[in-house]
Structure 1
Amino acid sequence: MVRVRTLHTSRCSLNSSKMQLHTKFTLRRKSAQKEEVSTDSKTPARTRFAPSPTGFLHLGSLRTALYNYLLARATGGQFLLRLEDTDQKRLVTGAEENIYDTLNWLGIKIDEGPTVGGAYGPYRQSDRSEIYTRYINELLDKGLAYRCFCSKSRLDGLRDSAKLLKPPTTVSYDRHCLKVYTKEESAAKAAQGEEFTVRFLSPDKYQEFNDLLHGNVNWQPQVNPFDKRFEDPVLLKSDGLPTYHFANVVDDHLMKITHVIRGEEWLASTPKHIALYEAFEWRKPKFVHIPLLTTVDNKKLSKRTGDIDIMSLKRQGYLPEALINFAVLFGWAPKRAQGEKSNEIYSMDFLEKHFNLDGLTVGNAKVDFQKLNYFNKHYLQQKLQDPEFLDRASADIYAKLNQDRGITQEYVKKVLVKTGSSLTTLDSVFDESFKFYFERPTYTRKGLENVLKPGEYGVVKLLAEQTDFTDLKALIPRIMAVYPDITKKNIYQTIRYAISAGQPGTKLPDMIELLGNEEVIARLNSLKEIL
């Protein structure tokens, strides 16, 4: 039996049994048409990532780009970058460059796009106006689109009145300009310079379609049977630029896109897009609408709750390998053979070979930044084994330090080698747990009391008189000979407190090796001064 989930686009009470709620949004699980879900890995997929340069790339954008890229790579296809920049008022300075820089840093390679060209360009929508005009005219000639000369105030009034209907409707236009003006009159008004938009003549009923993740989807706009309004989406804005609904259909067709992988928020718009494919008699691509990203407490992810741009995460010390591994698991996991151990570490090389749409999941994907820390720590340990990476990393850390203290880049490199297994990011060396390697800690009586009793403070003075801390096994008996009641643990803790103010993590012998005898003795003398 097929399980059906029905969602209504708005909630309302029906005051009369004669009134029908005409909105229908049904998702049939992919088991309904399982044969259509699997991707034939022998058929190359042409996919695209089509961001709008109205902001910097964030985790949601990364996931979308990554899934499209990996499907293309796994099937031996092509991955395109297309800039949807027709909303000129919202463009952000530097956003386009941010897209290129971010994808390049992450290792997501573009086969066709604004910076590399290709056979189906231009790849920036603002450069494709002549193409859109040609196809708008085709729809106008066929009678499948019409010009709308309505003022903003009239449209606002229609929208407000639609909300007051019982039941309210989610569509508001009354097709005034279609009913009032003939084709010839409409063309004449446009020729005289009157401002207009172009609307699509939407069908009475949208087609049911198949989504490779959700299965069969049947979406119909909510209408009021006594005051029928129409969706008729705007295809061309009054400034002559296309809307997303129109441009993405034209571009995907002309660029021969086979699979459209995008966020679930576009699921309700897909029937409009399919209606446009039908109007042009074009073959539609396969659609995959991936789940929303939420926080661990199931709230929609936003910039306020961590959905920050990728290059900001780079500046915080996160590695591209960690971010790729982190993002790919937002709703995907490879199929495991029976008895195979669970694994969450996936390199880009593995993903390019094994990514498959069958691994996608339907439910919202929870973003846990603790998991990002886990991945980054794993990859950082690996990369610190690479001499070239270690050189670059130590140079970056060294440049941020106060070099008046006599610290060298070689010393920084040794610190990274010794502490690498404890670092979450490279910048973790500046955290409280590690900064004692670069500056002497601050001591307090209270802190020392956690290690020694007041009557045992002479241990600090005795330790400060020692000359060699490299052989702790030999040193401990000498201290215990003078203070027989004190334990080995107390002596170790006292030395650790003098070195780091008690910070845990790094092994004590490694601390002593990095700092050297002279610095250890100097810190014990500093500690002695507070007694």
Structure 2
Amino acid sequence: MSVKTFYRRFHGTLNLSSILPKKSLVSKKPSKDIHPKHPVRTRFAPSPTGLLHMGSLRTALYNYLLAKNTGGQFILRLEDTDQSRLVEGAEENIYDSLRWCKLHYDEGPMVGGPFGPYRQSERTEIYRSYIGTLLESGHAYRCFCPKERLEDLRESARKLQPPTTASYDRHCAHMSPHEIKQNLDNDVAYTIRLRAPEKYPIIQDLLHGTLDIQPQVNANDVRYDDPILVKSDNLPTYHFANVIDDHLMEITHVIRGEEWLPSTQKHLAIYNAFGWSPPQFIHIPLLTTTEDKKLSKRKGDSSVINLKRKGILPEALVNFSVLFGWSPPRDLAAASHECLSLEQFEQVFNLNYLTKGNAKVDEKKLWFFNKHYLQLQLESQLPQVAEQVIPLVQSKYGSNLATDDKVTTILQKCGKALTTIYEFNDTFSYFFERPNYDQIDSVQEYLAAHDLQQAWYILQGFQDSLDATNAEKLIKQTAEKMSISKRPIFECLRFALAGSKPGAKIPVLVDVLGLEETHRRLDEACKYLENRL
């Protein structure tokens, strides 16, 4: 496969094991033990151009966990040099999302640190001093070409046979000092480009091993892949600022998504131009849907804040996200059903357990984790959970009907039926309003599948005697008397008291509803059945 195809497919669903040619691009597998034995410095460097999404959270988590596991430091850095793409409120969303997930950074905006400032937009003078070094050494040059000429070069490069992914002809690299001065005196807009080496450096990736990614060239029309380091507005590009910041902030390990692999050889070339040693790179697999399509972050469904609004707990989201591309040791996974707290992940996170294949996002597992952590909260923090739920219930049913004690009791006795707190009103509506049998689908399904004469007879036996203390005994006696199993009796009582909705055991239903309301519903259910017989 050509590198052109490699680049094109990088922006879709990428599986390195399937699209990187084994002989030309992958020449060596990573060593068995890739986990550092010393404290590391990692960073999470998002751009405030939108809501923080699940993929970015996973990147933050891996960098955070590697730092914590080795006793190192985790840094937050905002890459905000592309001013045209900044979104109002996005920076605050990054802080809020990390705080909500309990990812506390050691250095960064709001907390400071010895290598600040931690917003790239505040580091302009630093970048200017370093670009001067590259201009003086000849590793960079000013490009005065107008946009129209550059577009013509890109178009002609696409039409070459074979086409080339490198399009620039280095016209400005050959300008004399006099021509450069003349353009500068005339305020001609310019960018600053890296003079790329004849061959880009080979990437040593801890996860994928040795990768040799080179731009495709046309021998009959030689073009150059000279990336822009400084834009015409004098702000650095991602490539340049990223390298400068990682070096000055003494970052030892960079964990980021595979989509950044085509940029890595450019970054290595910049490191070489300065004579600096690069950090260790780990490129983690893409997040995909269960249909193996790249997970979209544009829709906003996978943003941390929207998942929070759906009732997802931070513990569940952290647990869910860490397992995209990383697996705990088998014995630990089996013992815990992969349910691990952030503190436990800090103890066991190890780069050796990273996986290479695309990570498929199946929300069923997220809901499984959420139910697990909600149950833990109900067991240990019932008053705090109730404080969140009570206003939701009272806004729908009123405080007279949905008293604080009643809602708390339902949470305590029936909370296992919930996956999120926002399901409470729908799941337990029968505690606050009588079933309208004609309008409930579950009732109609029950009626279609059962003997109505038998159901009517069962309810008759419970009308004047059922209470919370004798429910189990009466059900057993009725089953023996009618020579039937307990199941149709449970189903009949659930039809009458809860409109056939699950979530509460019969004794709990009777206890919470109270005897008066319980017998009123039994009477109404009997009359309803009589009208259908």
* Counterparts of 1:284 and 1:484, CA distance in 2: 80
**Does the 8 Å contact 2:393/2:424 carry over to 1?**
no
Q: Give yes or no for contact 2:44–2:75 (8 Å, CA) kept in 1.
A: yes
Letter paired with 1:371 = K
**Structure 1 unmatched runs, 5+:** 1-5, 13-23
In structure 2, distance between residues paired with 1:69 and 1:339: 21
CA 1:344–1:469: 2 relative to 1, 3 Å: closer
In structure 2, the gaps of 5 or more residues are 8-22
Q: Which amino acid aligns with 1:468?
A: D
| Aligned positions of 1:40-189 closer than 5 A | 40-41=36-37, 43-179=38-174, 181-189=175-183
Choose from 491, 498, 501 the match for 2:499: 501
Match of 1:355 among 349, 359, 362: 349
Q: Which moved more, 1:131-140 or 1:100-109?
A: 131-140
Aligned residue for 2:142, secondary structure, equals: strand
| SS of aligned partner of 1:219 | coil
Aligned-pair CA distance for 1:160: 0.8
SS of residue in 2 equivalent to 1:496:
helix
Distance 2:204 2:431 in 1: 59
Show the counterpart of 1:39.
35
What does 1:275-294 correspond to in 2, within 5 Å?
275-294=269-288
Q: 1:305 to 1:422 in 2, by over 3 A?
A: farther
Q: How far apart, in 2, do the equivalents of 1:38 and 1:11 lie?
A: 26
Contact 1:290 1:331 (8 Å CA) reproduced = yes
Cα distance in 2 for partners of 1:373, 1:87 equals 36
Q: Could you tell me which of 300, 303, 306 is aligned with 1:309?
A: 303
Measure how far apart 1:528 and its partner are.
Answer: 4.1
1:472 aligns with 2:471: yes
Q: CA separation in 1, counterparts of 2:333 and 2:317? A: 28
5 Å-filtered alignment, 1:211-360, equals: 211-303=205-297, 308-336=302-330, 343-360=337-354
With over 3 angstroms needed to count, the CA separation of the structure-2 counterparts of 1:331 and 1:222, relative to structure 1, is same
Cα drift, residue 414 of structure 1: 1.3
More displaced, 485-494 or 221-230?
485-494
Deviation at 1:337, TM superposition (A): 6.4
Q: Map Cα deviations across residues 362-404 of structure 1 (whole Å, 9 max, x no partner).
A: 1111111101111111111111112353343344544543215
RMSD value, Cα: 2.7
Which residue matches 1:21? none
CA deviations on 1:262-287 (whole Å, 9 max, x unpaired) are 00011111010000001111111000
Distance 2:122 2:400 in 1: 55
- Does the CA contact (< 8 Å) of 1:397 and 1:412 recur in 2? no
Q: Give TM-score scaled by structure 1 length.
A: 0.89
Structure 1: distance between partners of 2:144 and 2:333:
65
Matched, 1:414 2:409: yes
- Report the residue type matching 1:58 in the other structure: H
Preserved CA contact (<8 Å) 2:76 2:109 = yes
Contact 2:2 2:216 in 1 (8 A): no
Q: Please say if residues 52 and 85 of structure 1, whose CA atoms lie closer than 8 Å, have aligned partners that are also in contact.
A: yes
Q: Aligned-pair distance for 1:503?
A: 1.7
- Identify the structure with the greater helix proportion: 2
Shift of 1:156: 0.9
Paired residue for 1:367, among 361, 371, 392?
A: 361
Give the aligned partner of residue 202 of structure 1: 196
Cα 1:313–1:451 shift into 2, 3 Å: same
In 1, are the aligned partners of 2:394 and 2:402 still within 8 Å (CA)? no
Q: Give 1:523 deviation, angstroms.
A: 2.2
Q: Deviations over 1:436-463 (max 9, x none)?
A: 2333222038444544424763654564
Maintained 8 Å contact 1:291/1:365? yes
Normalising to structure 2: TM-score of the pair? Answer: 0.88
Query: Match for residue 18 of structure 1?
Result: none
**1:451, 1:493 within 8 Å by CA — same for their partners in 2?**
no
Is the Cα contact below 8 Å between 1:295 and 1:305 reproduced in 2? no
Q: How many residues align?
A: 508
Is the contact between residue 401 and residue 432 of structure 2 (CA under 8 Å) also seen in structure 1? Answer: no
Does 1:27 find its partner at 2:26? yes
